[in-house]
Amino acid sequence: MRIAVYPGSFDPITLGHLNIVKRASRLFDKVYVCVMVNSGKSPVFTVEERVDFVNRVTSKYGNVEAESSDSLLVDYVKSKGGLFIVKGLRALSDFDMEFQMALTNKKLEPGIDTVFLTADEKYTYLSSTIVREMAMYHADLTKFVPREIIPDVLEKLGKAD
């Protein structure tokens, strides 16, 4: 069985993230979307909220499951029996950082490969940071965030009607 892990902060999950999940679900038998606890970030949404968001918007894919982890990514991947890490790339600047991370992960665990999926061109500009900023001003989020979580995003940022 080909098992992959798509890690990230997903604060919140965007349509760009969801595009990567959908494509990964076609490439692998099982995909774990892992909400990583990153000590260098201060997320707006709790880990539990982010896992819930991911599970809600990926429920249509029978082989995708969301979880969280505060462990080293390669340790989490091994615990799931995975051999692949999926990373989405929006721009060349993403590649520099992600390539460095992939080499580090390969050094830590030679049996795990990183697979890069380029973002669909309509999402190359999109990030969770941009979504949070737009939500603070009560912008229409329908082209940026899965519809199922828009009310949650707006409510959390205190601008819902």
- Known catalytic residues are 17, 41, 90, 128
Of 88, 54, 89, the C-alpha closest to 69 is 54
| DSSP assignment string, 55-92 | HHHHTTSTTEEEEEE-S-HHHHHHHTT--EEEEEE-SH
Residues recorded for the chain: 161
Query: Which amino acid is it at 143?
Result: K
**Whole-number Å distance between alpha carbons of 13 and 11:** 6
123, 19 Cβ separation under 8 angstroms:
yes
